[in-house]
Structures are given as structure tokens and as C-alpha cells.
Structure 1
Amino acid sequence: MASVLQPLAPSSTLKFKKVPSGGTPEGQVARLEATYTPHDQRFTLRRREFKQQYSHIYARRLARLRAAAAAEAERLWGGDQLRRCERLVQANADGAGGSGPCVCIGTLYKTMRLRPSVLVEYRDERGISEAIGVPRGDFAAPDDSLLLEDDSGRLNLAADTTTPDVMPAQDLPTGIVVAVRGSVRADGDMAVEAWCPPGLPPQPSPPEGAAHPPGACLLLVSGMLAGGPQDPLPTRLFLDHLAGYLGGAGDHEQIARVVRVVVCGNSAAAPPPPLAGAASGSIGSGKLSAEQQRERTAPLRECDAELAQVAVPVDIMPSASDASNYMLPQRAAHMLFRKRAIQQRKGNIRPNVAAALPVDIMPGASDASNYMLPQQPLHPCLLPLASRYPNARLATNPHEAWVGTRLVLGTAGQPLDDILQYTAAAEGAGGDEGDSARRLQMLENMLRWQHIAPTAPDTLGCYPFLTEDPFVLEECPHVFFAGNQPRFATRLVEGHDGQQKGLLNRAAQVRVVCVPSFATTGEVVLIDLDTLEATPLQFGVSDLGGWETTGPADMAEE
């Protein structure tokens, strides 16, 4: 799909009409609406205390997933054929007496020689570390090993000498709950014959009253990085297209199907670090000059900036004739975009979207929110323009909500990126295609592990919860996404029959999506809530000097 600005009368203006109670005026396109129920309660921190230990998270995780892992093991291996050890200390004792194969359930821990360590860095700060030369962000090694642990102790896991290694350490991260089948040897290690995660959780039925019209879509965008060095024009094109200012009648009908936008983190670029040679008193005393303060807060200001004339009513899209009147001559359009770029510098992102349709704003790694997961909603004072719109909702990261009859769950990408740092890619899986397949596989694994951040708190920072692990999946979503990824990728994951509650012959279906960073790709993702099909839309500048959007013709789904 491509559309180019047509030179029309520069004196023409775009007009909007409020939809009367009796219906939509002739020639106007009404935006679809869907019910919305947020489910961020479990990710909202009510008390912030840091006196407790992180061991409570692992204990709660194992307690909640033990039954699911046992049920999956019984489904795969049969319940009457194998002996189950309730505690690992029992497996050690029985193994010494030669009791034969058994099934053990516990939490995986991976020992990694290349894992970064503060103690090692401190020890080697005056010398030469043996870890020098290890690529940053790739800490998996062939000599990594796995242990299974519960509240009674640990059990070393080793490959069965009579079968291929069915549980390679390089492919698995720390923190997942699994069932392991094997025999405990005389040396105390368990020879693994097979293993299984808890599997996909049950997929819930929509809540009472949930509904969305046919053709309704959800739009995902991440990594807009307002205030960064990227070209602001694709952002401007995306916002104007979303508001219905650009394109023809077909474009308006497509964008009118969007019932909600989810901004999946990294909306503002990270502020620049203080300069080492700053003026006296600006670094050592912790104080910044007025100019430095303005520089460091510029991304936030620019992200919240908005021009009042580009705000769009919630329930109306411009008609085809009105939209065409907005098209200016090429030179005038260039001056308009240049003026906006100078005035707003990649900003005015969220207010325009919020004014056009409902939007959920998640924090990300570069946003002004807490570092540890779950990240709490951005404070309204950081977004004084966007937050004044009632249909702009400041959400947590991770974020979960019912959009119509679909349960949507996702993160800003930190859990997925952290898992990839501590696992190895398969041989021959290089290049962009191999990397995308690996990311999709890890997203699918998270669903089957029933945990969306398994490496927290080991290598991924998270709050030290005392009585719960909010990252455990008890219900299977219909859409599962990870934001701020290098490129678009998607896959439809299916479970086994009976996973949809109340439907014994229906298998769970989940659309997993890698949402690309908009600042580097210019792409957003459109998801049809009826069919769960995911379509990438790319915004850029054509060789003809106009704007264009590119559909999925050259972006294949895996």
C-alpha cells in the first residue's frame, strides 16, 4: 500500500464534524470501539520495602507451578509408570539405594563461567581478567551446567550416556520450573532421560460484557525514542496517518478499525550522560547547570510536545474529501514538516495518539521509570499534555488487559533480551532470519514455561516480592508481545486440546509478536482481533518526495 501527497490548493483546510447521536454523517468514517478491562493490578506495587530476601520469589514460583509441571509430566509420560519424588532430598536418598528412574520437579539454576560478577570485577580491577575478550551480551559457554533445586536441596543434572543430550544447558536459562525424568547415579548426579516445562496454561473465556466489532484491530508500537538522533519525519507520518490526516479512503477505513494503541516502552530517548569535563561543582557536588538540566530533560519535553491543531476527535475520522483538502503542494508540505520537526524534534507522539483513540503508554528501559520490573506507570507530571486526555492510560511494564474478547499481555522487551544474553544460538542460526526465529522461540518458551520473566531476579532486576510472583502465567493470553526488538517477527502458537476453558476440543492459540523499534525500522504492528493475524506497517519517505506506508508484501510471517 502506497500513497503520495498530491499538490492541491494550499488554502484548503481540514474540517471535522462531531458525530451526532443519530449516527455518522455521510462521507465520514467512524472509528470502531471495543470494551477494555485492564489487568495490571498484579504488576502494581502497593508497598515498596526492600528488607526481604529474593528467595521468597523462587519459593512462590515453585509452589504455584509445581502442580502444572506434574500434570504435564503425567500427560506426556503417564502417571502410573514412574515414581515421583516430592522433594529432591528424597531423590538423592533413593538414588543411593538404586531405586531406579523417577520424576523430580524443581527450579533450574544454570552455572555459567562467563557470567558477569561484581566480585570478579573488583578482584581484577587492578589486573587482567580472564574474561577479557568475551563478547558483551553473550555469556553462554559449552561448559555451562544445570542444577535442579527446591527447598530441600539441589540435584546436579547430567546427560544420560545412553541417549543424546536432551537437556542442553546452553538452551535454557535460570529460573524456570521443570519436571525431569531420570535416574540418580552413585555420584549423586541425575542422568536426564527427558524433561518438560509446565506447558501452556488454560486460555480463559472473555469476561462478561466483553465485545469488539468485526474487523477491530490493535496497534502495537515501540521504541519511538523522542529526542533521539533519528529522522523525525517517519514519526510525523505515522501520527498523521493514525489521526486520519493522510492517505485515501482505503487508508482511513483501515486506520478506523484500530480500537486501541499500545505504546510498548522506550517512548523517550535516554538523556545524555553528564560530561566528564563539566564545569566546577556540576559533577562532584551532584548539581547540574541550568543548561545541562535543559539538555537532560529535553527528550521528556519533546516526547510530550504537541500542536493543538493536529489533535483529532476520538469518534470521527476525516472524510476522503476533507482529507484531500489537507494535502498541500509538495514545497508547502515540505515546509510544514520541516517547521514541525524544528518545533517538536521527534516529539508530540502520545498526545496526538491519545487524542485520536485510546492508548496505553508502557514504560521501557529508556523511559523515566523505575529500573526493576515490574516498571510502574510513568508519572502524569512527566506527560502534562498527554495525561490530560482521559483515553490516555499510563500502564505498567509488563502490561495485561482485555481488549474486546482478546487477552493481551506483553513487555517492553527486557525479559526477552536478558534471556538471549544467557542462552546460545543454535548452530547455523545466524543472520537476521535466524535471530528472529530465536526470539520467537524464546517467546513461545515463556508461554510454555508459564513465566514471562524467568531470569528475574537472577540476572534481571525485579522487586523482591514476599508473598507472590506476579510474572507467573496462570492464564494463557491471546496476544503475547515483546517490544523494542530489532525487527518484526510473528508466530501462531498452539497448545493441545482442552486448553480453552469450557471448550474440551479447542486448543489454545496465541499470537506471539516481536514489535520492532520504530526509531530504527519505522514499523508498527497491526493485529486483527478476530483472526489474530499480525501485519507490519512501515512509514518512510518515497523516492518521489512524498510519504508512503508499506504493508506486509515483503515481510513474511514465520
Structure 2
Amino acid sequence: MVTLDDIANAGLLQKPSDNAPEALERSQSNYKPLHSFALPKDRQYQQQFADIYFLRLTKIKPAVEKVASIAWEGTVIGGERAKKVERVLDVRQGELCWVTGTVYIDMALKPNILEDVSKDRWISAPPSIDHYFSEEGHDAVMLEDDSGRIRLIGDTLKDFFMVTGCIVAVMGTENANGEFQVLDLKFADLPPQPERWELSKPPKPVKSKAKVKDGDVEMTDSPATAQGGKKMAIVSGLEFSGTDTSYTVELNLLLEYLLGEALDPMAQQNELAHISRLIIAGNSIAAEQKTHVEMDTGKGGKPGVHKKYGYDSSSYNPIPSQLLDEFLSELLPSMPVTLLPGALDPANASYPQQPIHAAMFPKSRAYTPLPGAAEHGWLDAVTNPWEGEVDGWRVLGTGGQNLDDVFKYVNSDDRLGMMEAMCRWRCSAPTAPDTLWAYPFQEDEPFVMKECPHMYFVGCQPEFGTKIIQGPDGQMVRLIAVPSFADTREIVLVDSETLDVSRVKITTGTGTSE
């Protein structure tokens, strides 16, 4: 393990060299963003949210039924052959059958509309909770479709991650109480995975391959490309603040690290020159400390009305956005940046979040594309979730709200397992719109994974984690839980050829590279 202090001491705490350092050129990023989660400019909110569930069921149900048919075809239990029923309402008591539908989990601790109303009315709101599940076992798991709803019971349910909104097929029988005793359960599993370089041209006609060695999934090295050894950097939770001055030191060190200014020119800078793109995955701005809106006073000091649009110039703090703008303006001449919004950033609160407006970056917006331009800019402010192709790999990433909401449903700390479950459910935001605010889609459900990504990252997580999962048709997905930089001081580096992952910890004391 090498510490950043060791690197700095080796490169900086020595007399200047008589030889001029070799001029380094940063590797170029092969990048093609997709606009899978862009909302129309004239979007409306009068429509009902139920259509999202119907669209999701329509899109995922055929894949779930295909998996279930293969697994349960010819299954005989107690002399009775399992048969498929089309609707939940067609389930008959005592008959062995299987049916597909949408999971709904009735939880007493889940938030309700009264909480939202209380917040809008500016009165005392119920206290927020970390989890929705009940330790007493009062939560009820339902399966529903357009015909009705039936309660699911059985120990089999404990073997799977399940949240409201995921599509499953269950096999079992209905008991005398009208409950469905589950004997087995199936998901859609990973969707078809596109080939590398499907949307863009590689620097050279090479393809990275993957193989299974000794039962473990292993990414193999590809032939060297014209720009071999490239890396993409992912960081989240920068949380620029106008009050925490001690944290500013780590942010400056991060900037110097990415620019290669803190390392030895003849050694480690050559390696950092291969970082071809920085992805910022949410929460670039720190949470605002002031939560109430002051009111104007009327004549005689009597309370008046709220200020226009609820805005009070005395309570607005422009420093965090200015610091982020300065950070980007220092970095952009050297490196392209993809910027995802997060829960704390100046973007719409509902999923999918739309890009942060270029007006927030007076110094950096010169690197953004012109309005209406088809090409992306050097600074690409994108949606959350976001999908694109980076160096030939299909990448799906979020700012973390989807995983944080799923985490509240289950009694587990395995966030990588929850990310894997979302991939196998083929849905990146299953709890939307039930407990995760979402736009009420009518014609499409963009959270359904139509194609399997090669890499799936989620930002603003409490700790770093990564693993590779494999699908039934050879699909392989690199999962990355990106830690919040404000909490961990860690940044993630991904090899653009092998998808191998490393992390760098930057602190004022001891920094480690793992």
C-alpha cells in the first residue's frame, strides 16, 4: 500500500531537477451520452402516477414469464402439475399455479401524503426515519396487477430482496385465508447486453473480452489500444460549503491530484495523464443549514406575507455554487467532466432529475454546448439517472437516491446486493413513484433497463464497494458503490480497458491508494 504522503515526499521534498520534465498529454475520452432520462420541456403533472406501474409491468412481464416458464415447466408437487394463470384474480384456492405481477409492500412506517402536506403548509412535519421495515413483522407483501391484489406469505420470501415496484413471478397455492403460499419466486434477470463500441468507433479495432476462471468472473486484458491504460475517475458528494473551511483543504488536494500538480512530474504524473474523464455523481453542493423562510413584516411590525417566491436574499448563500464553479473552471481546461445532480443540488427533486442549468456556472459555462446544439460539451451536465457510452462501455449511473430509498425497505446493509437486485429486476428505480418522487410518465417507463450496462455506479454512498455480477447469457456488470467524498475523502478510478477498480483516499494526514 502506497500513501500519498510517500508519493509527495518522493516527488516534492527534493531539490529541483536540472532536466526539464517531459510534456505530458492527457488521454482523450471516447464519450457518447444517451438521453434516456430527458423530460420534455412542456411536461405536465396533471396525470396519474398509476400508469408508471402498468407500463413497467407491460415491459418486464414477458421476460419474467419466460424465465418462470423455463424453470417451472413440468413441475409437479403432490401429484399436481403447476399451471400458469394470466391474472392475479384467476388464482384459485388449493390449485398449484404461478402468476406474474407487481410487488407492493404495505409498511406501517412508510411516509404518507399527510407528511408532504405538512411540509408544504410549513407546519411541524413528522420526524424522518431511516427504515420503513418493521422488526415486529407487521409488513405485508402483496402481488398485484390490473385485476386485483393478493397477499404473499412463506419463508421463501425471506431469501430475496423485494421492494415495492419490482416485477416477479411466484409459484404456490392459495390457502383458506385467501393468502398465496409462495414456494418459489423468479425475476427477469439481466437484460440483453450490447457489444462494446456499439454506439461509437474504437481507437483501434479491438474488443475487450471476459472469461470465467475457476468459477470466478475475471476481466481479461485487451490488446493495447492507441491510448492504452486510460482511466475514468468517479467522485460524489463533494458538498461544497461556504462554512466548512477545514474541508476546503481536501477539495484543493483533490483538484491538484486530478491536475497532476501534487505529484512528481517524472513518475506519478505520467499515470494521472491517463485519467481521461471525471464523473461527478451527485451532491456537489452541501445542504443548506437554514430551513425556514422568513416573512416580511407589515405596518406596525405585524407579520406580513411571504416574500416573493419564498425567496429571501438575506438567507441565500451563493458561496457553495461559486466554489463548485471555480473547481470546475480549474479542471475543465485539462479534463472533460460529466456532472450528475443529486438530492442536495440545485435541480428538480423528482426522479429523473434534469441537468443543473448552465447559469449556475458563470466561469465554466464556456465549456458547455450552445443551446440546441446536438453535440455535448467539455462540461456535460446530465440527468440523474444517466446512461451513456464511455470508452465503448455502456454505463448507467445515479446520484444515489434510488439505492438509498431501496435501502429503507430491507433489513440489510448489503448495498451491492441491492444494486445487483435492481439489475436483475431490470429496474433502476423500482420504488418510484411510491416513496421516491418521480415524474408521472404516461407513454414510457425509462427506469426499465432495456439493455444491460457494462458498468453500473451509484454515488453518495456511505462506503466504497464493488463486484462483478454475471447473467444467464454471459452478461457481466461491474457494480460500483461510490463513497461520498465529504465523508470518506475517497475517489474511484476505473480502468477503461479491464473495468478494474481502484480508489484513492485524499486527506491532510495520511492518504492511501488501494
Change (3 A) 1:104 1:118: same
Q: Which of 353-362 and 369-378 deviates more?
A: 353-362
CA 1:121/1:299 → structure 2, altered by over 3 Å: closer, same or farther? closer
Superimposed CA distance per residue, residues 93-135 of structure 1 (whole angstroms, 9 cap, x where no aligned partner): xx14x4x311100000001122223448999xxxxxxx99x98
- The structure whose residues are more often helix, as a share, is 1
Q: Which residue of structure 1 lines up, in the alignment, with residue 202 of structure 2?
A: 211
TM-score by length of 1: 0.75
What's the offset of the Cα at 1:168?
A: 3.0
Alignment partner of 1:532 is 2:510: no
Q: Deviations over 1:247-279 (max 9, x none)?
A: 123321222121211100111113332567787
Distance 2:35 2:163 in 1: 26
Q: 2:173 — aligned with what?
A: 183
2:361 is the counterpart of 1:370: no
**1:270 touches 1:299 (CA, 8 Å); kept in 2?**
no
Match for residue 90 of structure 1? 90
Under a length normalisation based on structure 2, what TM-score does the superposition of the two structures give? 0.82
SS at match of 1:37: strand
**Equivalent runs, 1:255-270 vs 2, <5 Å:** 255-270=272-287
Match of 1:515 among 471, 482, 485: 482
Q: What secondary structure sits across from 2:156 in the alignment?
A: coil
How far does residue 40 in structure 1 lie from its aligned partner after superposition? 2.2
Are residues 1:410 and 2:397 paired?
yes
From 409, 431, 435, give the equivalent of 1:422.
409
Output the CA distance in 2 between the equivalents of 1:279 and 1:9. 62
What is the rounded CA distance, in whole Å, between the counterparts of 1:407 and 1:140 in structure 2?
34
* Cα distance change, pair 109–169 in 1 and its aligned pair in 2 (3 A): farther
SS in 2 for 1:540: coil
Segments of 5+ residues of structure 1 without an aligned counterpart are: 16-25, 124-130, 160-164, 305-347, 426-434, 499-506, 543-547, 553-558
Please list, as runs of the form range in 1=range in 2, the aligned pairs for 1:57-206 lying within 5 A after superposition: 57-78=52-73, 82-91=82-91, 95-96=92-93, 98=94, 100-119=95-114, 136-141=129-134, 142-159=137-154, 165-168=155-158, 171-206=161-196
- Residue 213 of structure 2: aligned partner: none
CA distance in 2, matches of 1:226, 1:120: 29
Q: Give, in angstroms, the shift of residue 371 of structure 1.
A: 0.3
Counterpart residue number, 1:4: 8
CA distance in 2 between partners of 1:120 and 1:358 (Å)? 41
For residues 407-437 of structure 1, the C-alpha deviation after alignment (integer angstroms, 9 at most, x for no partner) is: 1111100010011112212xxxxxxxxx3xx
**Counterparts in 2 of 1:44 and 1:404: CA distance versus 1, 3 Å:** farther
Partner of 1:292, secondary structure, is: coil
2:380 pairs with one of 367, 388, 393: 393
Output the CA distance in 2 between the equivalents of 1:172 and 1:166: 12
Q: Deviations over 1:26-71 (max 9, x none)?
A: 8222221232111123433343101110110000000000011012
Number of aligned residue pairs: give it.
452
Determine helix, strand or coil for the equivalent of 1:148: strand
Query: Once structures 1 and 2 are overlaid, which stretch shifts more, 465-474 or 384-393?
Result: 384-393
The yes-or-no answer on 1:234 pairing with 2:229 is: no
Where 1:43 maps in the other structure, the secondary structure is coil
Aligned residue for 1:337? none
Take 2:185 and 2:418, find their aligned partners in 1: how far apart are those partners? 17
Q: Deviations over 1:459-502 (max 9, x none)?
A: 00000000111000111111111101111111111112x3xxxx
Deviation at 1:176, TM superposition (A): 0.2
Amino acid at match of 1:214: G
Q: Say if 2:294 and 2:306, in contact at 8 Å, map to a contact too.
A: no
Q: Distance in 2 between matches of 1:120 and 1:37?
A: 41
Secondary structure at 1:520 match in 2: helix
**Structure 2: distance between partners of 1:240 and 1:529:** 22
How far residue 175 of structure 1 moved from its aligned partner, in angstroms, is 0.4
* Contact 1:43/1:397, CA 8 A, preserved across alignment: no
Alpha-carbon distance between aligned partners in 2 of 1:44 and 1:356, rounded to the nearest angstrom = 31
Distance 1:529 1:75 in 2: 37
The whole-number CA distance in structure 1 between the counterparts of 2:199 and 2:438 is 33
1:235: how far off?
1.0
The answer to whether the Cα contact below 8 Å between 2:51 and 2:442 also exists between their aligned partners in 1 is yes
Structure 2 gaps, min length 5: 76-80, 119-124, 204-226, 368-376
Determine if the alignment matches structure 1 residue 303 to structure 2 residue 315. no
Q: Which deviates the most, 219-228 or 364-373?
A: 219-228
CA RMSD, aligned part only?
A: 2.8
